[in-house]
Amino acid sequence: MAEFPNLSRRGFLTRTAAVGGVIAVPTLLTACTKTDTSSDGKGKLDALKKQGFVKVAYANEAPYGYKEGGKLKGEAPTLHAAIFKALGVDELRPTFTEFDGLIPGLQAGKYDVISAGMAITPERCENALFSEPEFISPTAIMVKKGNPKKITDLASAKKGGVTLAVMSGAVEKDYVSSAGISDDKVKTVQKQQDGADAVKNGRVDGFVLTGISLRWLAKTNPQVEVTEPFVPVMGGKKQYSPGGAVFRKGSEDLRDAFNRELKKITSDASRYVQLLSPYGFGKSELPPPSLKTADLCKG
């Protein structure tokens, strides 16, 4: 069984809220950047077709990209395998890299694509190419089985006067505060399992986090359930928290080919859910067509 690091390193936690997206935890980058120089990036897909595989990096973070039983699993590898197969590249060859080293390794040419569900942020866009969003990360609330307090979202939590848990340093605390829930109704936990335990033992009525993470956590905590996800609003802006595949600068043609196949999947909700539901992704995680990486990269 794989052991999975805290998801806060991905950038969806320990960040301040951004307009329609996220601001990342700074990523350490190498001073030297390698770009694809094969015809200025053109022909990269042809080269991958000839060799029959694409090198991908993962950070062993469930449910985004991890190894279990020797097999590469998760949202990103599953989606990317389908896309590259459609492009004529049948095999993903994985390389494990600590999350903070993913972009430096990409820049150094150690692999072709980051398959780790990385958050799309302006800082990261300066150093790499992102696909269009593969998913968004709407918020949800973990509650006791049967949802005795009838919590559906933050507005209902405020109205019901319930107590909520959030992870230390996580953006969900900002969401809760923006919803008008007072600090005395909010408890901080250090780990995801701590939040689930607080719900189970009645210390809190709900645990606020992304629906993706909570559904994954609920698999090993049968005493709880997860509400339908919702997109929080701060300052009148929806907070989508999108993620995508990452390519080396100079690989625009490969990125564009990837995006064309990605659009076919994200435009087909049933296919998207069929592919990614084993990892807790559903229709609520489908990125809206109006959400574009070019806009997210501007901040």
* 7-136+240-283 homologous superfamily: Periplasmic binding protein-like II (3.40.190.10)
Residues 25-61 have pLDDT tens digits of 333 343 344 545 444 445 899 999 999 999 999 999 9
Handedness of CA 99, 97, 63, 207 (dihedral sign): negative
CB of 198 closer than 8 Å to CB of 162: no
CB atoms within 10 A of CB 188: 13
198-237 burial code (b ≥16 CB/10 A, e <16)? bbbeeebbbbbbbbbbbbbbbeebeebbbbebbbbebeee
Distance CA 284, CA 274 (A): 13
CB of 246 closer than 8 Å to CB of 27: no
- Residue-level pLDDT at 169: 85
Residues 65-106 have pLDDT tens digits of 999 999 999 999 999 999 999 999 999 999 999 999 999 999
> According to CATH, where is 3.40.190.10 located in the chain?
7-136+240-283, 139-234
Q: Would the pLDDT of 221 be above 70?
A: yes
So what's the architecture of 139-234 in CATH?
3-Layer(aba) Sandwich (3.40)
- Residue-level pLDDT at 28: 37
Residues 127-138 have pLDDT tens digits of 999 999 999 999
Residues 178-188 have pLDDT tens digits of 999 999 999 99
More confident residue, 199 or 14: 199
- Residue-level pLDDT at 31: 38
CB of 134 closer than 8 Å to CB of 266: yes
Distance CA 111, CA 95 (A): 8
Residues 6+ apart with CB under 8 A from 280: 63, 211, 212, 213, 215, 216
Alpha-carbon separation of residue 148 from 131, 145, 205, 241 (angstroms): 41, 8, 9, 29
Distance CA 18, CA 20 (A): 6
- Residue-level pLDDT at 235: 87
